[in-house]
Amino acid sequence: MSYKRILLKLSGEALMGKQNYGIDPARLEQYALEIKKVKDQGVEVAIVIGGGNIYRGVQAEASGIDRVQGDYMGMLATVINAMAIQSTLEKHGMYTRLMSGIKMEAVCEPFIRRRAVRHLEKGRIVIFGAGIGNPYFTTDSTASLRAIEIEADVVLKGTRVDGVYSADPEKDPNAVRFEKLSFEEVISKGYNIMDMTAFTLCQENNVPIIVFDMNKPGNLQKLIEGKEQVGTLIS
Ligand code: UDP
């Protein structure tokens, strides 16, 4: 097994599946089964989930809502997604804990680093909701920060494309996918992987990132087993 403890970042948008808004139950099921495959192999799994399928802070100003207020709305959206994932994972027999960057005792534990690590050691999947709990950040930054804090071996950024390309593969037929890139190459070539805050956090703390297609069945497991090349590794 190439990774013992992973931080899986899932975007909120991915949860929409074929819908225009909200949560597609089929997508939740699919993700839960993919996660179960790696959990069953003894990998410690932490998850950060976005909220873009429900609300993003940047939308706020356009609708006359204060930006900071909007960011908190976005963070609450991630908790809704996190609760949905938690429930689906538990339905499939996995043990989970939801830890939130904003205190809300009725639905989740507050984020306490030592406790998060303990949960992982005990085999529980830890889901980090509400981002880092501060406005002007993203769930990508949350993924990087939490990965560093819990000493994850890697940040796995699950997307709908199978890695980083030299150009947009949906527009340019000559676009090629990279198997590996350095952090410096990503910056100098301007490849858009995550926001800079999230990206430099990983770079400065030597946490590799793998961008991969989470929607392709079996991909997460293949990546963990390391027998086949999956996605793009940035290290
Ligand atoms: N957000 C925030 N602080 C955080 C994490 C998230 O303010 O630490 C807000 C921000 O407004 C963001 C929204 O929550 O737009 C939803 O998260 P994100 O856009 O990262 O979700 P994704 O694009 O992954 O679905």
- ipTM for the assembly: 0.96
**Per the domain annotation, does 198 fall within a domain?**
no
In this prediction, residue 116 carries a pLDDT of 98
The residue assigned the tokens 């996605």 is 231
Structure tokens given for 49: 């989930």
Number of domains in the chain: 1
In this prediction, residue 13 carries a pLDDT of 93
Q: What is the pLDDT of residues 81-116, one digit of tens each?
A: 999 999 999 999 999 999 999 999 999 999 999 999
Q: Cα(172) to centroid of ligand 1, in Å?
A: 29
Q: What is the pLDDT of residues 14-46, one digit of tens each?
A: 999 989 999 999 999 999 999 999 999 999 999
Residue 189 φ then ψ, to 5°: -90, -10
Give the DSSP letter of residue 20.
S
pLDDT score of 1 more than 80 = no
CATH code for position 104: 3.40.1160.10
CB under 6 Å to ligand 1: residues? 11-13, 50-52, 56-57, 70-71, 74-75, 77-78, 131-132, 134-135, 137-140, 142
**Per the domain annotation, does 235 fall within a domain?**
no
Strands 232-234 and 209-213: antiparallel
The minimum-distance atom of ligand 1 relative to the CA of 141 is: 8
pLDDT score of 56 more than 90 = yes
In this prediction, residue 52 carries a pLDDT of 95
The 3-state DSSP class for residue 43 equals: coil
| Ligand 1 pocket, mutate which of 75, 102, 140, 199 (most atoms under 8 A from CB) | 75
**Per the domain annotation, does 234 fall within a domain?**
no
pLDDT score of 191 more than 90 = yes
**Per the domain annotation, does 100 fall within a domain?**
yes
Q: What percent of the chain has pLDDT over 70?
A: 100
Domain coverage including residue 108: 5-186+203-229
**Per the domain annotation, does 195 fall within a domain?**
no
Give the Cα separation of 140 and 158 in Å (integer): 11
Range list of H helices, the chain? 25-39, 57-62, 67-91, 113-121, 139-149, 183-189, 196-204, 219-225
In sign, the C-alpha dihedral spanning 53, 58, 64, 65 is positive
Beta-bridge partner residues of 9:
48, 157
**Per the domain annotation, does 78 fall within a domain?**
yes
Q: What is the pLDDT of residues 126-172, one digit of tens each?
A: 999 999 999 999 999 999 999 999 999 999 999 989 999 999 888 99
Q: Is this prediction's pTM over 0.90?
A: yes
Query: What does pLDDT average to over the chain?
Result: 96
